[in-house]
Amino acid sequence: MVEIVFIEHDGSEHKVDARPGSTVMLAAVTNGVPGIDADCGGSCSCATCHVYVHEDWLEKVGEMNPTEEAMLSLSPDRKENSRLSCQIPVSEELSGLVVTTPEFQF
Amino acid sequence: MSEVITPEHKQSKWSMVGKDAYAMPLEDIDLSHPGIWQANEYLPFLERLRNEDPVHYCKESAVGPYWSVMKYKDILEVDTNPDIYSSEPTIGIVDTFEEFTLPSFIAMDRPKHDDQRRIVQPVVAPANLKNLEVLIRERVCKILDSLPLEKEFDWVESVSIELTTQMLATLFDFPFEDRYKLTYWSDMATSIPGGGLAKSQEERWEAIQECLAYFTRLWNERVNTEPGFDLISMLAHGESTRDMPPDEFLGNLLLLIVGGNDTTRNSISGGVIALNENPQEYAKLRKDTSLIPNMVSEIIRWQTPLAYMRRTAVRDTELGGKHIKAGDKVIMWYVSGNRDAEVINRPNDFWIDRPNARNHLSFGFGIHRCMGNRLAEMQLRILWEEIMQRFHFVELEGEPQRVYSSFIKGYTHLPVVLHGKT
């Protein structure tokens, strides 16, 4: 299992174990981490699983695909380290990954 | 958001009212005619197409030939491929008259859609809505406190329309005594000449011009005063919006008014019907009002206030094994996808604690996904929180009357009686 750390906008921390091959979004949803809505269920078409990736992990998380970029580009809360968590596959390499959830999903 | 159908069509040869969905040849099924929608007879037609011909071609109808996309996954495919399925020239099943249409990004493709939406989107972002919640709740309370107990009245007129009108006025900080103009302009903007409210195209255009003049005056007032939390002030002072050309400002403002008008109105009415038809769910709600946010999503799925969105194929493509040609009209029936058992568990049940209730299609998906979704949810949540504080039972007293439209899934009349808490 791969450990992923979610930090809420108010600082509350949630450490969860994720299965390789799953996604960061599913890791949050199946473990009851608040702040991730995932309205479209992981098909990169609603931008309600928005997270900010800790800068130490940006490189390992990798590049965005064009669809993810298109969805995120419409979010008013988008930052440099914004990603859609349904588009981040869980792998051993990401063990210890730290992401922050925004105050609102939109 | 209504569509072109003149009253004489009610008796037209295109109507499917009274027909058995399973007794006619598949190719004769036509969902575009408003008859079965107003008569509340549409479900068997949706079910048959979904099961037997989920990407269905209707070769002849009052609005010309069109494709019907019935299944959740196929709808998602169309909605998330805007480069194949264009939102131009219009998102309605009926083609529009260009000279009488204001530009708004709902009917634009990228990159223009993205540029314009990005400018307007922050005004309905949750962070801004938070500032309005107290005022919206105050107004909801005032309306609910003015309703009669144990006496029949029309919920549509006294609550659904009144609330959405007041909320629009609140969001725009629009002069309260003039608030009915907002609903009038919205209804005029979407009415098709001869089909209802507007008697002619000129009359309709006159109402739009009046709306634009009014909002220009408000903009000029706000731009010269301290920034506030209302949408006009935010647009007038926002760094990225204050230099927006007037026609863009006005076109998109109208989209915000229209988008937030009858969609929310009909979900407010729909919730009352759903709870009356499912007394066990109403009982669940009385026992645990923390279910309200989840119920709000379920109401929006169950109601599906906009039955469909239209796209137009820009090139030949394939969908569900069918060959779609460039220029074909493609209708995504959200109302059908929301009842697709392949994705939605027990889809015909109204289930207020449904798991994954947020996974419905009513807001659409992809870059055109409803921008006011959080606002709509907030309005419905506050309303039901305050209803549950006051009333034991909002009881339906008769058959609801439905809108004559295959696009707007809504109600014109809903007789109810309120029973207080004892």
Angle, helices B246-259/B112-120, rounded to nearest 10 degrees: 70
The mean pLDDT value for B210-234 works out to: 89
Q: What is the pLDDT of residue B244?
A: 78
Q: What is the ipTM of this complex?
A: 0.93
CATH number where B142 lies: 1.10.630.10
Domain presence at residue B375: yes
Facing residue for A106 by CB, picked from B76, B126, B367: B126
> Is B359's CB within 8 Å of A41's CB?
yes
Instruction: Report d(CA B17, CA B113) in Å as an integer.
Output: 38
Q: Rounded to an integer, what distance in angstroms lies between the CA atom of residue B328 and that of residue A37?
A: 35
Look at residue B1 and tell me whether its pLDDT is greater than 50.
no
Of B80, B356, B367, the CB nearest to A74: B367
Confidence of residue B124 (pLDDT cuts 50, 70, 90): confident
Q: Does A20 touch chain B if contact means CB atoms closer than 8 Å?
A: no
What pLDDT was estimated at residue B192?
65
Residue B96, in any domain of the structure: yes
User: B204 lies in a domain?
Assistant: yes
Task: Give the burial class of B83: count Cβ atoms within 10 A of its Cβ; 0-12 exposed, 13-18 middle, 19 or more buried.
Answer: exposed
What's the average model confidence in pLDDT over B103-116? 87
Compute the Cα dihedral for B108, B110, B111, B113 and give only its sign: positive
- Please tell me the predicted confidence (pLDDT) of residue B99: 60
**Alpha-carbon distance B127 to B220, whole Å?**
25
* Domain assignment of residue B279, given as a range: 7-420
pLDDT confidence of residue B46: 98
Task: Give residue B260's pLDDT.
Answer: 84
B318 is a domain residue: yes
Instruction: Establish if B1 belongs to a structural domain.
Output: no
From residue B158, give the alpha-carbon distance in Å to each of A89, B48, B173. 50, 37, 21
Strands (DSSP E) contained in B203-350 are 308-313, 317-319, 322-324, 329-333
* CA-closest candidate to residue B407, choices B242, B210, B191, B198: B191
| Domains of chain A listed by start with CATH number | 2-100 (3.10.20.30)
Candidates B1, B50, B6; CA nearest to B29 is B50
Report yes or no: B223 and B237 within 8 Å, Cβ to Cβ.
yes
Q: Give the integer Cα–Cα distance in Å for B149 and B214.
A: 38
Residue B2 placed within a domain: no
pLDDT digits (tens, 9 = 90+) for B359-381: 999 999 999 999 999 999 999 99
Mean pLDDT across the stretch B327-338? Answer: 98
Residue B9: the pLDDT is 46
In this prediction the pTM is 0.94
Whether residue A44 lies within 8 A of chain B, CB to CB, comes out as yes
Q: Determine whether B182 is exposed, middle or buried from the number of CB atoms within 10 Å of its CB (0-12, 13-18, 19+).
A: buried
Residue B2 confidence (pLDDT) above 60:
no
**Is the CB of residue A29 less than 8 Å away from at least one CB of chain B?**
no
Provide the domain count of chain B.
1
Worst-scoring range by mean pLDDT, B104-108, B137-141, B219-223? B104-108
User: Tens digit of pLDDT for each residue in A18-73?
Assistant: 999 999 999 999 999 999 999 999 999 999 999 999 999 999 999 999 999 999 99
Give B275's pLDDT tier (boundaries 50, 70, 90): very high
A41 interfacial to chain B (CB closer than 8 Å): yes
Closest chain A residue to the Cα of B73, Cα to Cα? A43
pLDDT at B32: 96
Q: How large is the average pLDDT for residues B151-172?
A: 93
Q: What is the mean pLDDT of residues B331-337?
A: 98
Residue B345 domain-assigned? Answer: yes
